[in-house]
Amino acid sequence: MRPLVAMRIAGFVRGGRALAPLIAVLVELGIIYGGGASPAAVAYGYSAVALFPVLAWLTKLLLDTEPDVQRRLARLSVGPAREATAGLLAALVLSLAVCVAAMAAPWLFHGIDTSVALGSGIALGVLAHLLAVPPAIAVGALASRAVTGSIRLGVTVLAVAAVLVVVLGLTGSFAPWLVPPVMATARALNDPAVPPAGELALLTGWAAVWCAVAFAGYGWLRRARS
Protein backbone atom coordinates (compact mmCIF):
# COMPACT_ATOMS: atom_id res chain seq x y z
CA MET A 1 0.00 0.00 0.00
CA ARG A 2 2.96 2.32 0.72
CA PRO A 3 3.94 2.60 -2.99
CA LEU A 4 0.38 3.55 -3.91
CA VAL A 5 0.27 6.22 -1.18
CA ALA A 6 3.61 7.59 -2.44
CA MET A 7 2.45 7.49 -6.08
CA ARG A 8 -0.70 9.48 -5.26
CA ILE A 9 1.15 12.09 -3.20
CA ALA A 10 3.75 12.46 -5.98
CA GLY A 11 1.03 12.77 -8.65
CA PHE A 12 -0.77 15.45 -6.62
CA VAL A 13 2.28 17.50 -5.66
CA ARG A 14 3.94 17.36 -9.12
CA GLY A 15 0.71 18.16 -10.93
CA GLY A 16 0.60 21.61 -9.29
CA ARG A 17 -2.95 21.28 -7.99
CA ALA A 18 -1.68 21.58 -4.41
CA LEU A 19 -0.93 25.27 -4.98
CA ALA A 20 -4.45 26.65 -4.49
CA PRO A 21 -5.10 25.14 -1.03
CA LEU A 22 -1.56 26.12 -0.03
CA ILE A 23 -2.32 29.77 -0.82
CA ALA A 24 -5.59 29.47 1.14
CA VAL A 25 -3.62 28.22 4.18
CA LEU A 26 -1.22 31.19 3.93
CA VAL A 27 -4.13 33.65 3.76
CA GLU A 28 -5.76 32.04 6.82
CA LEU A 29 -2.51 32.15 8.80
CA GLY A 30 -2.18 35.82 7.90
CA ILE A 31 -5.69 36.53 9.16
CA ILE A 32 -5.35 34.52 12.39
CA TYR A 33 -1.91 35.75 13.44
CA GLY A 34 -1.76 39.15 11.71
CA GLY A 35 -3.44 41.01 14.61
CA GLY A 36 -0.76 40.40 17.23
CA ALA A 37 0.08 37.67 19.73
CA SER A 38 -2.63 35.53 21.38
CA PRO A 39 -2.51 32.57 23.81
CA ALA A 40 -1.51 29.29 22.14
CA ALA A 41 -4.74 27.41 22.97
CA VAL A 42 -6.99 30.19 21.61
CA ALA A 43 -4.95 30.73 18.43
CA TYR A 44 -4.65 27.01 17.66
CA GLY A 45 -8.38 26.51 18.28
CA TYR A 46 -9.19 29.06 15.58
CA SER A 47 -6.48 27.62 13.36
CA ALA A 48 -8.09 24.14 13.48
CA VAL A 49 -11.51 25.57 12.56
CA ALA A 50 -10.04 27.60 9.70
CA LEU A 51 -8.05 24.64 8.36
CA PHE A 52 -11.05 22.27 8.36
CA PRO A 53 -12.56 23.31 4.99
CA VAL A 54 -9.10 23.68 3.42
CA LEU A 55 -8.06 20.17 4.43
CA ALA A 56 -11.38 18.78 3.12
CA TRP A 57 -10.75 20.60 -0.16
CA LEU A 58 -7.15 19.35 -0.24
CA THR A 59 -8.41 15.77 0.20
CA LYS A 60 -10.93 16.14 -2.62
CA LEU A 61 -8.27 17.62 -4.93
CA LEU A 62 -5.82 14.83 -4.05
CA LEU A 63 -8.34 12.05 -4.69
CA ASP A 64 -9.59 13.71 -7.89
CA THR A 65 -6.09 14.20 -9.35
CA GLU A 66 -5.78 10.57 -10.40
CA PRO A 67 -7.67 9.80 -13.64
CA ASP A 68 -10.63 7.41 -13.20
CA VAL A 69 -9.00 4.73 -15.35
CA GLN A 70 -5.79 4.90 -13.30
CA ARG A 71 -7.84 4.54 -10.10
CA ARG A 72 -9.40 1.40 -11.57
CA LEU A 73 -5.94 0.06 -12.47
CA ALA A 74 -4.82 0.67 -8.88
CA ARG A 75 -7.97 -1.06 -7.62
CA LEU A 76 -7.23 -4.13 -9.76
CA SER A 77 -3.64 -4.13 -8.51
CA VAL A 78 -4.18 -3.94 -4.74
CA GLY A 79 -7.89 -4.68 -4.25
CA PRO A 80 -10.76 -2.26 -3.51
CA ALA A 81 -10.25 -1.90 0.26
CA ARG A 82 -6.54 -1.12 0.06
CA GLU A 83 -7.04 1.18 -2.93
CA ALA A 84 -9.58 3.28 -0.99
CA THR A 85 -7.44 3.25 2.18
CA ALA A 86 -4.32 4.33 0.27
CA GLY A 87 -6.15 7.46 -0.91
CA LEU A 88 -7.19 8.33 2.65
CA LEU A 89 -3.65 7.72 3.96
CA ALA A 90 -2.19 9.98 1.26
CA ALA A 91 -4.62 12.70 2.39
CA LEU A 92 -3.67 12.08 6.02
CA VAL A 93 0.06 12.49 5.33
CA LEU A 94 -0.48 15.80 3.49
CA SER A 95 -3.00 17.09 6.05
CA LEU A 96 -0.66 16.40 8.96
CA ALA A 97 2.15 18.19 7.12
CA VAL A 98 -0.13 21.23 6.62
CA CYS A 99 -1.07 21.18 10.33
CA VAL A 100 2.56 21.02 11.45
CA ALA A 101 3.39 23.98 9.18
CA ALA A 102 0.33 25.91 10.38
CA MET A 103 1.26 25.35 14.03
CA ALA A 104 4.93 26.24 13.49
CA ALA A 105 4.36 29.33 11.32
CA PRO A 106 3.16 31.76 14.08
CA TRP A 107 6.44 31.23 15.97
CA LEU A 108 8.28 32.86 13.06
CA PHE A 109 6.45 36.18 13.47
CA HIS A 110 5.66 36.14 17.20
CA GLY A 111 2.00 35.22 16.79
CA ILE A 112 1.88 33.26 20.08
CA ASP A 113 1.69 34.97 23.46
CA THR A 114 4.40 33.20 25.48
CA SER A 115 3.44 34.76 28.83
CA VAL A 116 0.44 32.40 29.46
CA ALA A 117 0.31 28.59 29.95
CA LEU A 118 2.39 27.61 26.95
CA GLY A 119 2.77 23.83 27.44
CA SER A 120 -0.90 23.07 27.95
CA GLY A 121 -1.80 25.54 25.20
CA ILE A 122 0.35 23.74 22.64
CA ALA A 123 -0.93 20.32 23.77
CA LEU A 124 -4.53 21.50 23.41
CA GLY A 125 -3.66 22.97 20.00
CA VAL A 126 -2.27 19.64 18.83
CA LEU A 127 -5.45 17.92 20.05
CA ALA A 128 -7.65 20.47 18.25
CA HIS A 129 -5.84 19.83 14.95
CA LEU A 130 -5.93 16.07 15.44
CA LEU A 131 -9.68 16.27 16.02
CA ALA A 132 -10.16 18.35 12.84
CA VAL A 133 -8.01 16.34 10.40
CA PRO A 134 -9.89 12.98 10.18
CA PRO A 135 -13.36 14.55 9.76
CA ALA A 136 -11.94 16.93 7.13
CA ILE A 137 -10.52 13.94 5.22
CA ALA A 138 -13.88 12.16 5.51
CA VAL A 139 -15.74 15.18 4.09
CA GLY A 140 -13.21 15.53 1.23
CA ALA A 141 -13.44 11.82 0.47
CA LEU A 142 -17.25 11.89 0.39
CA ALA A 143 -17.04 14.86 -2.03
CA SER A 144 -14.50 13.13 -4.30
CA ARG A 145 -15.33 12.27 -7.91
CA ALA A 146 -15.15 8.54 -7.21
CA VAL A 147 -18.18 8.95 -4.94
CA THR A 148 -20.15 11.86 -6.39
CA GLY A 149 -19.49 11.16 -10.06
CA SER A 150 -19.86 14.82 -11.10
CA ILE A 151 -18.01 18.06 -10.43
CA ARG A 152 -21.19 19.94 -9.49
CA LEU A 153 -22.32 17.41 -6.89
CA GLY A 154 -18.78 17.10 -5.49
CA VAL A 155 -18.39 20.85 -4.99
CA THR A 156 -21.89 21.03 -3.48
CA VAL A 157 -21.12 18.29 -0.93
CA LEU A 158 -17.87 20.04 -0.02
CA ALA A 159 -19.40 23.51 0.32
CA VAL A 160 -22.51 22.37 2.22
CA ALA A 161 -20.44 20.29 4.65
CA ALA A 162 -18.01 23.17 5.29
CA VAL A 163 -20.91 25.57 6.03
CA LEU A 164 -22.81 23.07 8.18
CA VAL A 165 -19.75 22.36 10.32
CA VAL A 166 -19.76 26.04 11.30
CA VAL A 167 -23.54 26.68 11.42
CA LEU A 168 -24.52 23.49 13.28
CA GLY A 169 -21.43 23.92 15.47
CA LEU A 170 -22.58 27.29 16.87
CA THR A 171 -23.73 27.56 20.50
CA GLY A 172 -27.44 26.65 20.73
CA SER A 173 -27.44 24.62 17.53
CA PHE A 174 -30.45 22.28 17.23
CA ALA A 175 -28.35 19.31 16.06
CA PRO A 176 -24.65 19.80 16.93
CA TRP A 177 -24.00 16.03 16.78
CA LEU A 178 -24.73 16.03 13.02
CA VAL A 179 -21.30 17.58 12.41
CA PRO A 180 -17.84 16.86 13.85
CA PRO A 181 -16.95 18.85 17.01
CA VAL A 182 -14.59 21.30 15.31
CA MET A 183 -16.38 24.42 16.59
CA ALA A 184 -17.04 22.89 20.02
CA THR A 185 -13.32 22.17 20.40
CA ALA A 186 -12.39 25.75 19.48
CA ARG A 187 -14.89 27.05 22.07
CA ALA A 188 -13.42 24.79 24.74
CA LEU A 189 -9.94 26.11 23.92
CA ASN A 190 -11.11 29.73 23.99
CA ASP A 191 -11.73 29.44 27.75
CA PRO A 192 -8.85 30.90 29.78
CA ALA A 193 -8.92 27.84 32.09
CA VAL A 194 -7.74 24.47 30.78
CA PRO A 195 -10.89 22.44 29.87
CA PRO A 196 -11.56 19.44 32.17
CA ALA A 197 -10.37 16.03 31.00
CA GLY A 198 -13.97 14.80 30.80
CA GLU A 199 -14.87 17.48 28.28
CA LEU A 200 -11.82 16.67 26.12
CA ALA A 201 -12.66 12.94 26.26
CA LEU A 202 -16.23 13.73 25.20
CA LEU A 203 -15.00 15.81 22.23
CA THR A 204 -12.57 13.05 21.20
CA GLY A 205 -15.26 10.36 21.45
CA TRP A 206 -17.69 12.54 19.47
CA ALA A 207 -15.12 13.04 16.70
CA ALA A 208 -14.28 9.31 16.66
CA VAL A 209 -17.93 8.23 16.34
CA TRP A 210 -18.61 10.85 13.66
CA CYS A 211 -15.56 9.70 11.66
CA ALA A 212 -16.46 6.03 12.03
CA VAL A 213 -19.89 6.73 10.51
CA ALA A 214 -18.48 8.97 7.75
CA PHE A 215 -15.69 6.56 6.73
CA ALA A 216 -18.10 3.60 6.81
CA GLY A 217 -20.34 5.60 4.46
CA TYR A 218 -17.36 6.30 2.20
CA GLY A 219 -16.42 2.61 2.13
CA TRP A 220 -20.00 1.62 1.29
CA LEU A 221 -20.32 4.21 -1.48
CA ARG A 222 -16.95 3.25 -2.97
CA ARG A 223 -17.92 -0.43 -2.93
CA ALA A 224 -20.97 0.31 -5.03
CA ARG A 225 -19.05 2.45 -7.53
CA SER A 226 -15.87 1.76 -9.46
| Sites of contact with another protein (CB under 8 A) | 3-4, 6-7, 10-11, 14-15, 66-70, 72-78, 224, 226
Closest distance to another protein from the beta carbon of 146 (Å): 13
Residue (31 or 151) nearer to another protein, CB: 151
Shortest approach of another protein to residue 222 CB, angstroms? Answer: 11
Residue 135 contacts by C-beta under 8 Å, 6 or more apart in sequence? 52, 165, 180, 182, 207, 210, 211, 214
User: For 39, phi and psi rounded to 5 degrees?
Assistant: -60, 145
Nearest distance from C-beta of residue 14 to another protein, angstroms: 4
Decide whether 6 or 23 has the Cβ nearer to another protein.
6
Instruction: Please state, as a whole number, how many other Cβ atoms lie within 10 Å of the Cβ of residue 14.
Output: 10
20 or 73: CB nearest another protein: 73
Cα dihedral 127, 20, 158, 190 sign: positive
Contact present, 124 and 197 (Cβ < 8 Å): no
Side chain identity at residue 18, one-letter code: A
Q: What's at 65, amino acid-wise?
A: T
Q: Shortest approach of another protein to residue 121 CB, angstroms? A: 40
Looking at beta carbons only, is 104 or 224 nearer to another protein? 224
